[in-house]
Amino acid sequence: MVFRVLYRFPKNKKKNMEKLTKEDVHPKIVQALLGEDTNITIEDALENEMILNMGPQHPATHGVLRVLLRLDGETIMAAVPELGYLHRGYEKLAENMEFQEFIPHTDRLDYLSPLSNNVAYAMAVEKLVGVEVPDRAQYIRMIICELSRLTSHLIAIGAFAMDVGAMTIFLWAMREREKILDILDLVCGARFTTSFTRIGGVAADMTGEAIAMTTKYIDEFEGNFAEFEKLLNTNKIFVDRLDGIGVISAEDAIEIGLTGPNLRASGVDYDIRKAKPYLKYSEIDFNVPVYKEGDCLSRYFVRADEVRESVKIIRQVIAKMKPGAILANQPKQVMPHKTEIFTKMEELIHDFMLVNFGMKTPAGEVYHAIENPKGELGFYIVSSGEGKPWRVKIHSPSFVNLQALGHLVQGHMISDVVAIIGSLDPVMGEADK
Amino acid sequence: MGLESMLPEGFLTTTVDALISWSRKSSVWPMPLGISCCAIEMMAAGGPKYDIARFGSEVMRFTPRQCDLLIVAGTVTYKMSKVVRKIYDQMPDPKWVIAMGACTSSGGMYRTYSVVQGIDQFLPVDLYVAGCPPRPDNLLNALITIQNKIGKTKGHEFKNEIKPETAIINN
Amino acid sequence: MNDVMEEKILQKLKEKFPDEEFISETFRDELTITVNAGRIVDICRLLKNDAELLFKQCVDVTAVDWARKKKRFSVVYNLYSLEFNFRLRVKAFIENDEGSIDSVTSVWKSANWYEREAYDMLGVIFKNHPDLRRMYMPEEFEYHPLRKDFPLLGIPGSLPLPQK
């Protein structure tokens, strides 16, 4: 039996740092510092606020995020994040490509869990066009979504712990992640950025060997993950550094638009897999972890609990899977399989029409969202009846989570900024689109 | 260590050269400029399975002042290009640049208004690694190639304006 | 359940704004209501605060460029109600010549960055926005990339590049 310990150490009150005034510094030092040709007067010297640039290249900003901080001593008065250093023009690209051509691009949005982004986009297009996906494809999609949730949360916890100072966890998390990437290598052909989903199903079937590998992995995983928690949950430095930092209440969290584990750590019980079930989540039995305190430590606990729930889901899905087709049988919208194109006539014609003119879509607009590991990933697609979309808007969870950064860091110290960014877990590939 | 660039060719200097080149190539410290997806494969190359430390790159320092190899991993946009150039300028000589992935070599799959179509438009690149993203073994192959090139470079060639021959590594 | 919510929304809107016209359509089980852009802030406030509607989560605010049609831009608000588990879409076409509409940041704080992104990408101006500046492109950039008359490859020389 696994004994889990969740610990919050008793707090001693944090003292306010006293502001230095000019009486505390010897006048000769002040004179040497200021020099002759400056426009700073002696009254201003130690009472000024300072602007610090946490630049785009920084070991801890999870990608290229620039944060401008206004400091009073070491306390933060205001923080303004600046995005756009990775803006690659996805929405403009999507208007110039056909629906099925855009799938490899969605991989690179949240590049820590590429498989679930594909599923989100494919489901939005399938909703617009009206394609019914076969059962086995839905179960395979659920398995890969939960596997990508595991990879994303492992890196989130690993990088977060590394930012706070615990380097071992990062290397252990990479080790676990490599085993998942071996499974994906076998199923999809690539370790990472796989573009595995197609509109109407998935690209390839999961063989018995892949399922055996997955089962073996999740049997060993729980024991390995318990070791992570043994190192972190009762570690006084880790807990003290995160307890009570970056608190946001449930009302504020909904108002400012947080989604995903960040929202559930503030006490709001909202998970799209339970509220508006997609794929076959309504048939699976799992819990949604919710914590009430709303600080960095709760966000970490939510992710650790979600990892366990994912393992439960994968086990149940593997037990339910039955052999069947993996691509829907709608020739006017679904691309046929490569082996059939080379041997059969109708499939060749359909492939030609779909690649050159795109699929037939009705004119209209649709919004579909799934529960990505980072939050709610939604695609708003406007179609005007052609094979290419008229407008695609990507609602990415990291973008909305970063909006809360200015609100969360006020009043904390500089070293807390790193912990807060790590607990929000942004990925700049999707925040900048 | 700039003295050997001023000495002429001779028996003593070639031995000194060989010693210096060997020591330089055996401990290349990379500066990881991780911008997007390729950064994750670079982190995996530093992880336990594909260990980059056994090739001499024991630490990945995040400050340019202490590194010799700049690995640009990820799509470089016009807004970010100024930052990349600044980091390259801050590195002390001798330095080398690896352009990792398709996005840095030629713009990759993003032929749009905000992506620089290849970082060799503003940086001198030594090695291009193909892949989207390249597997960590591919990155290790690139590192070994750079080490071989460093091992062959003579002392008097380490000047600022050298444009080394570029090599392309395929998957 | 969906029809009940639909009727409630339309009924409350018609009660409070009797002289405005609302066009509603349902496509693939989603309700879209088209309203006039003049009273958008009051309409959104009603949708958020009314005890039987409670659309507290503003999921998305975007704009769509309809190219050569008479009313070129339309602003789209995707809303969600946590208590009643209902998604709603509100659309408004921009009618004035300068391409501006009132900002809804006084109703939902999360609309702040969404509207900045719509301004950056499409050039839609939001009046009374607390901080309207560009989001992704640098401040000196003169164009709006997602408009249909801006080419995909960009305009050469519009963004600076450092020297080799």
pTM for this predicted structure: 0.88
Write down the residue that tokens 């009046």 correspond to.
C127
B121 interaction partners in chain C (CB closer than 8 Å): 161, 164
Q: Which of A130-144, A318-332, B144-158, C114-128 has the lowest mean pLDDT?
A: B144-158
> Are C153 and B122 a contacting pair at CB < 8 A?
no
Q: Which of B76-80, B122-126, B160-164, C122-126 has the lowest mean pLDDT?
A: B160-164
Q: Given a cut of 70, is residue B7 above it in pLDDT?
A: no
Neighbours of A225 (CB within 10 A): 21
- Cα(first)–Cα(last) distance of chain B, in Å? 36
Neighbours of chain A (3+ CB pairs under 8 A): B, C
Q: How far is CA C136 from the centre of its chain?
A: 18
- Cα(first)–Cα(last) distance of chain C, in Å? 64
Neighbours of chain C (3+ CB pairs under 8 A): A, B
Q: Would you call A249 an interface residue with chain C, using a CB distance cutoff of 8 Å?
A: no
Neighbours of B62 (CB within 10 A): 15
Q: Would you call A145 an interface residue with chain C, using a CB distance cutoff of 8 Å?
A: no
C127 three-class SS:
strand
Neighbours of C140 (CB within 10 A): 9
Task: Give the H or E element holding residue B149.
Answer: helix B136-152
- For residue B162, give both structure tokens: 């050298």
- Name the residue facing A178 among B49, B113, B115 (closest C-beta): B49
State the pLDDT at residue B167: 47
pLDDT tens per residue, range B52-69 = 888 888 787 778 888 889
Q: Once rounded to an integer, what is the mean pLDDT over residues C102-116?
A: 90
Q: Would you call A254 an interface residue with chain C, using a CB distance cutoff of 8 Å?
A: yes
- Cα(first)–Cα(last) distance of chain A, in Å? 44
Q: How far is the C-alpha of B57 from the C-alpha of B59, rounded, in Å?
A: 6
State the pLDDT at residue B162: 45
Q: How far is the C-alpha of B169 from the C-alpha of B142, rounded, in Å?
A: 7
Which of residues 401 through 420 in chain A touch C, CB cutoff 8 A? Answer: 403
Q: How far is the C-alpha of A333 from the C-alpha of A356, rounded, in Å?
A: 13
Q: Would you call B74 an interface residue with chain A, using a CB distance cutoff of 8 Å?
A: yes
Q: How far is the C-alpha of A334 from the C-alpha of A131, rounded, in Å?
A: 8
Q: Which residues of B110-121 are buried (b: 16+ CB within 10 A; e: fewer)?
A: bebbbbbbbbbe
A403 interaction partners in chain C (CB closer than 8 Å): 110, 112-113
Whether ipTM exceeds 0.90? yes
When pLDDT is cut at 50, 70 and 90, the band that residue B171 belongs to is very low
- Name the residue facing B114 among C154, C160, C164 (closest C-beta): C154
Q: Would you call B99 an interface residue with chain C, using a CB distance cutoff of 8 Å?
A: no
pLDDT tens per residue, range C39-79 = 888 888 888 888 888 888 899 999 998 887 888 899 999 99
Tens-level pLDDT at each residue, chain A (433 residues): 445 666 676 665 555 555 555 566 666 666 676 666 666 555 555 567 788 888 888 876 688 888 888 888 788 888 888 888 999 989 999 998 888 889 999 888 888 988 999 999 999 999 998 888 999 999 999 999 999 999 999 999 999 888 888 888 899 999 999 999 999 989 888 888 888 888 888 888 888 888 999 999 989 998 899 888 888 888 888 888 888 888 899 988 998 888 999 999 998 889 999 988 888 898 888 889 999 888 889 999 999 999 999 999 999 999 988 888 888 888 778 888 878 888 888 888 888 888 888 888 888 899 999 999 999 999 999 998 888 899 999 999 999 999 898 888 888 888 888 889 989 889 988 888 8
Mean pLDDT estimate for chain C: 86
Q: How far is the C-alpha of B23 from the C-alpha of B15, rounded, in Å?
A: 12
> Are B37 and A59 a contacting pair at CB < 8 A?
no
A190 three-class SS:
coil
- From the list A128, A403, A344, the residue with the least C-alpha distance to C28 is A128
Task: Give the H or E element holding residue A339.
Answer: helix A338-341
C138 interaction partners in chain A (CB closer than 8 Å): 84
> Are A367 and C87 a contacting pair at CB < 8 A?
yes
- Name the residue facing A403 among C28, C110, C136 (closest C-beta): C110
Write down the residue that tokens 């031995």 correspond to.
B15
Q: How far is the C-alpha of B70 from the C-alpha of A325, rounded, in Å?
A: 48
> Are A257 and C152 a contacting pair at CB < 8 A?
no
Q: Would you call B112 an interface residue with chain C, using a CB distance cutoff of 8 Å?
A: yes
Which of residues 297 through 356 in chain A touch C, CB cutoff 8 A? Answer: none
